[in-house]
Amino acid sequence: MLLSRVIKDKIAGKMMLTVSIALALILLLLITGLIIKSYPILKENSFWSLISSSEWHPLQGKFGMLPFIMGTLWVTGLAIIIAVPTCLLASIYLSEYAKGKILGFVNPLIDILAGIPSVVFGLWGVIFIVPLIRDYVAPFFGVSNSGYSILAGGFILSIMIVPVIIHVLNEVFKAVPLELREASLSLGATKWQTIKLVVLRKAMPGVIAAIVLGLSRAFGETMAVLMVVGNVVKIPHSVLDPGYPLPALIANNYGEMLSIPSYDSALMFSALILLIIVVLFNIFSRLALVRIERMVGG
């Protein structure tokens, strides 16, 4: 019997190791494939010249990626700025204050929000958010535009990542031991002081992880953002300017105009840049997370 358990444990360990290696290989193969496909354009232009140039003229062989990189960062950054405070406050309320009936009503709504197709969010943005920005928000700031802007894309994207962040935050706050709350309250702290100084401090690594997960989702979102962001090839200078994120570039152009020399390679290179941005951000976030965990542990 003991021998059988040992054999089963070894088999299970080997299987999990195999799956882990396979996942790492998938990422490696993905990066390798994009590098190979991007090689023709990298042979003609340096990496730095491609990511620092603003000239996008495929017919002339100019493939400057800077407007698309900045469009991605603007839209994603705005979405995170809107979503994180909203999700944090909502999760604190749901995990610390809300009663059973409210939880039974709100949690299914969050699940429904997570399951709505992105194209529906995009259509809602075109019908409601874009006219709202065009007719009210932009004139209020003395700007005249069509409403298709970074602000529209960031707002729609923030709504789309809210369920992802809230679900993780709820689990993170639930994992904080009840004894810590009771100890804080017994020392005379108010409920809000306990949440702010004890619960949030203990849960901070999980909060960072939730934000990273939401940001990773935001970087790759395509359809909804594509429909409302304007898709104008220029570097945005405010949230009311139109933008053109990297996922929208790929979705709009792949399969078309590939007869232009280096166009296919340029789109593959844009996908490689997007992957590099996500990987680098996750690495830096992981390093920050380790540091925060040490501070909290200490």
Reported as a single tens digit per residue, the pLDDT across 165-179 is 998 899 889 888 888
Query: What is the pLDDT, as a whole number, of residue 70?
Result: 93
pTM of the shown model: 0.87
Length of the chain: 298
- Contact at 8 Å (CB) between 118 and 221? yes
Query: What is the pLDDT, as a whole number, of residue 68?
Result: 94
Q: What is the CATH number of domain 45-297?
A: 1.10.3720.10
Query: What is the pLDDT, as a whole number, of residue 144?
Result: 86
Query: What is the pLDDT, as a whole number, of residue 283?
Result: 81
Q: Could you list the mean pLDDT of each consecutive 10-residue stretch along the chain, which spans 298 residues?
A: 73 86 88 90 88 87 90 93 94 88 86 88 94 92 90 94 91 88 88 90 86 84 88 92 91 72 86 87 75 62
**What are the sequence ranges of the domains in the chain?**
45-297
**How far is the first Cα of the chain from the last one, in angstroms, to the nearest whole number?**
44
pLDDT digits (tens, 9 = 90+) for 23-37: 889 888 988 999 998
Query: What is the pLDDT, as a whole number, of residue 259?
Result: 67
Calculate ∠ Cα 58-61-66, nearest 5°: 70
Backbone angles phi, psi at 243, to 5 degrees: -140, 180
Query: What is the pLDDT, as a whole number, of residue 295?
Result: 62
d(CA 131, CA 142): 16
